[in-house]
Chain A
Amino acid sequence: MHAYVIRRLGQSVFVLIAIALLVFVAIYAIGDPVSTLAPQDATTAELEGVRQRLGLDRPIYVQFFLFLSNAAQGDLGRSFVYGEPALKLVLERFPATLELALLAAFLAVTIGVPLGVYAGLRPDSLGGRGIMVGSIFGFSLPSFWQGLMLILIFAIVLRWVPAGGRGDPGMLLGLQSALFSLDGLRHLLLPAVNLSLFKVALLIRVARAATREVALQDYIVFARAKGLSRTRIVWVHILKNIMIPVITVLGLELGSLIAFAIVTETVFAYPGMGKLLIDSISQLDRPVIVAYLMVTVVVFVLINLLADLAYAAIDPRVRLAGGGKSA
């Protein structure tokens, strides 16, 4: 198990460096930030001063080398706009985005999996077919427009929840989070629903396909032959087996939840790191863009690692093959 974790970590570091190079090359190509930062009527000398202060006058390979060695020490440069360390800016916004993504993932599982299991158990029923058409519809709703419609209906017409922003955080067990206060949850609900809808549609499909496969297995026939109740068969025998593909997919998708939070945060004016990225792109604030991408990639890598470990925890065949206790 340890060897497995170490090997996975090694792969992760490799991915990180590859992404760092790509990110740096891509971002370097983005227009000239000096022209946006300096005043409209700045002289050439003044522009040159800004350029020097930001280190943009040096050759690109020097900039990359500096970037790598600084990055290794956790220094991803200062924001051109705010003058603060870029990493700090991004990390300050990270909890807000994480709250959003976690609540969305929770909603996706609690809504998507039961619907998918139902559709898988009764694929030819009206309900089963309806759920599948609904999931195609869910795939087809562009999330930004769906967010606008949520705002229109629930915040503007019905006035049930606020249209945007982030609520006051609450405290639980020494952790501060907007998930722990009523105000925080009220603000989070619409964005989280918005972000989760696509994943609900996805999990419906995954859970349905897995359920249909598992339901045909001999061990389900045998479980019925034992006289188990339908509830027990569905909630223990089927659900525990379909959790393997569900967790695999969820692990892959949690990263994309954080990426798609860019859209949700923009729609709901939610102060997460996705909104920061969009603002930074429009202001050509390179260090912040790079810091965002690096943080995101690290999170991706961590999530994949956790998903693999969770996978091992739920599937005894994987867990025990990993060299743990054996019979």
Chain B
Amino acid sequence: MSTVDQLPTETAGVEEGESMLRRQVREYFRSPLATAATITVATLILMAFFAPLFVPQNPYDLSQLDIMDGLLPPGESTYSGRVLWLGSDEQGRDIYSAILFGLRTSLTVGFLATAIACMLGTIIGVISAYVGGWVDSFVMRVVDLQLSLPSILVALVLLAAFGRGIDKVIAALVIVQWAYYARTVRAAALVERGAEYVEAARCLMLSNTQIVFRHVLPNCMPPIIVVATAQIAHAIALEATLSFLGAGVPVTQPSLGMLIASGYNYLLSGQYWISTYPGVVLVITVGAINLMGDRLRDVLNPRLAN
């Protein structure tokens, strides 16, 4: 009987949630800047993911490279007559192809690291908020310590210890980032825990797990989304920086940061294109994601918008 009574209110809640979501989506796309940023990010992701379809050569298949095509400036043609719109590096690698392959590595690292850090941080944050006591204060002390250290320093020391590799970069980025989510989620969960609907759920004898997954977490989503968007951009930029410093991804799977680093010495002798164009793509990627994050924050948290 009681479940029957519950049904109508629950569906009503879902419907209202959907219409709110739709309203927020519409609000989000009202900004032309955010719309342009979203289209840019979607395009970049598609091109990177299907990179082989968009490029004339696999830049890391050595049999496809010709040393005779090395260091050609943008607009020059290769020995075989193909125009290199963005030039080539010292091994005759087409920069445009290398950028798309590099973007793929950069995006993979950025998204994977953020996703793992987000899950890990969320779990720790919820546990911290629910268990409370010394667990909570210990976790928060670690979070404070972690956040007080600059991310670049922590990641650099970790990678110095781990060595190179995509998995190791991701691990380092996760360790750098989890604390942001833990803090955000804990704060949100503490608020939600005291909310009336959670009290109501508890009265209905729902288990803690059920309450957390069906009630608390969905309501923590807005701040998590906002933090995660900013962190993806941050992760991509940080990975590029680490790779530039020689502590990031391996040479066999270069990211945008590595490409830029490989052009460093040529830059000083005026062969600017190897470092410049990958950097432009990196900036556009990070900038567009940041613009999306800014808009998301405004839409999901109207209180902060003004």
Across the interface, do A26 and B246 meet the contact criterion of CB distance under 8 Å?
no
- Asked, given contacts A144-B241, A260-B150, A262-B245, whether A27 binds B163 with beta carbons under 8 Å apart, the answer is no
B260 at the interface (CB under 8 A from A): yes
Residue B267 interfacial (CB < 8 Å): yes
Label chain B's interface by main secondary structure: helix
A67 to B236, CA, bound (A): 36
Measured between alpha carbons, how far is A163 from B291 in the docked complex, in Å? 32
B152 at the interface (CB under 8 A from A): yes
* Cβ–Cβ < 8 Å partners of A178 in chain B: none
| Docked complex: A145-160 residues within 8 A CB-CB of B | 145, 148-149, 151-152, 156
Chain B residues lying within 8 Å of A277, measured Cβ to Cβ, are 156
- Whether A266 sits at the interface, judged by CB under 8 Å, is yes
Quick check: A145 and B272 within 8 Å, CB to CB? no
Is the Cβ of A152 less than 8 Å from the Cβ of B145?
no
CB-contact partner of B294 in A15, A31, A136, A263, under 8 A: A136
For chain A, give the interface size range.
35 or more
Q: Per-residue CB proximity of A103-144 to B under 8 Å, as 1/0?
A: 000000000000000000000000000000100110111111
On whether the beta carbons of B267 and A278 are closer than 8 Å, the reply is no
Residue of A142, A163, A262, A267 near B286 (CB, 8 A) is A142
How many angstroms from the CA of A142 to the CA of B290 in the assembled complex?
A: 13
What is the bound-complex CA distance between A26 and B150, given in angstroms? 16
Among candidates A27, A136, A142, A289, residue contacting B282 with C-beta atoms closer than 8 Å: A142
Chain B, 249-306, CB within 8 A of any chain A CB = 257, 260, 264, 267-268, 270, 272, 275-276, 279, 282-283, 286-287, 290-291, 294
Contact of B33 with A133 in the complex, beta carbons under 8 Å: yes
Q: A259-B152, A281-B156, A281-B247 are in contact. Are A141 and B145 (CB under 8 A)?
A: no
**Chain B residue with the shortest CB-CB distance to A29:** B161
Q: How far is the CA of A177 from the CA of B247 in the complex (A)?
A: 32
Q: Is the CB of B241 within 8 A of A263?
A: yes
CB-CB under 8 A for A27 and B157, given A140-B233, A278-B246, A282-B246? yes
Residue B166 at the chain A interface, CB threshold 8 Å: no
Contact residues, A19-75 vs B (CB, 8 A): 23, 26-27, 29-31
Residue of A nearest to B278 (CB): A145
Give B214-239 as 1s and 0s: 1 = Cβ < 8 Å from A's Cβ atoms: 00000000000000000001000100
Decide if B98 is an interface residue (CB 8 Å cutoff). Answer: no
User: Does residue B160 face the partner (Cβ distance < 8 Å to A)?
Assistant: yes
User: A136-B291, A148-B264, A156-B268 given as contacts; is B157 within 8 A of A23 (CB)?
Assistant: yes
* Interface assignment of A272: CB less than 8 Å from any CB of chain B: no
Q: Are A148 and B286 in contact (CB under 8 A)?
A: no
Contact status B156-A262, CB under 8 Å: yes
B70 CB to closest chain A CB (Å) equals: 20
Contact of A142 with B264 at beta-carbon distance under 8 Å, contacts A15-B145, A26-B158, A259-B150 already known: no
A289 to B161, CA, bound (A): 11
Docked complex Cα distance between A152 and B273 (Å): 11
Q: Does A248 contact B (CB under 8 A)?
A: no
Whether the Cβ atoms of B286 and A278 lie closer than 8 Å is: no
A15 to B162, CA, bound (A): 24
Q: Is the CB of A145 within 8 A of B275?
A: yes
B152 with A260: CB separation less than 8 A: yes
**Inter-chain contact B260/A144, CB cutoff 8 Å:** yes
CA of A307 to CA of B294 in the docked complex: distance in angstroms?
29
Question: Quick check: is B101 within 8 A (CB to CB) of the other chain?
Answer: no
- Is B153 within 8 A of A266, CB to CB? no
How far apart are the CA atoms of A277 and B282 in the complex, in Å? 26
Within 8 A of A (CB), among B152-205: 152-153, 156-158, 160-163
Given contact pairs A26-B158, A144-B260, A148-B264, a sample of 17 additional A-B residue pairs in the complex whose CB atoms are under 8 Å apart = A15-B145, A26-B157, A27-B157, A27-B161, A140-B283, A142-B241, A145-B282, A148-B279, A156-B267, A156-B272, A163-B268, A252-B148, A262-B152, A262-B153, A266-B244, A278-B245, A281-B160
Q: Which residues of A contact B (CB under 8 A)?
A: 15, 18, 23, 26-27, 29-31, 133, 136-137, 139-145, 148-149, 151-152, 156, 163, 252, 255-256, 259-260, 262-263, 266-267, 277-278, 281-282, 289, 293, 296, 300
Q: What are 21 sample pairs from A and B whose C-beta atoms fall under 8 A apart?
A: A23-B157, A29-B161, A30-B160, A137-B287, A141-B286, A142-B241, A144-B244, A144-B245, A145-B240, A145-B282, A148-B264, A148-B275, A148-B279, A151-B267, A151-B268, A152-B276, A156-B268, A256-B150, A259-B150, A260-B150, A263-B245
The interface of chain B, by Cβ under 8 A from chain A, is 33, 145, 148-150, 152-153, 156-158, 160-163, 233, 237, 240-241, 244-247, 257, 260, 264, 267-268, 270, 272, 275-276, 279, 282-283, 286-287, 290-291, 294
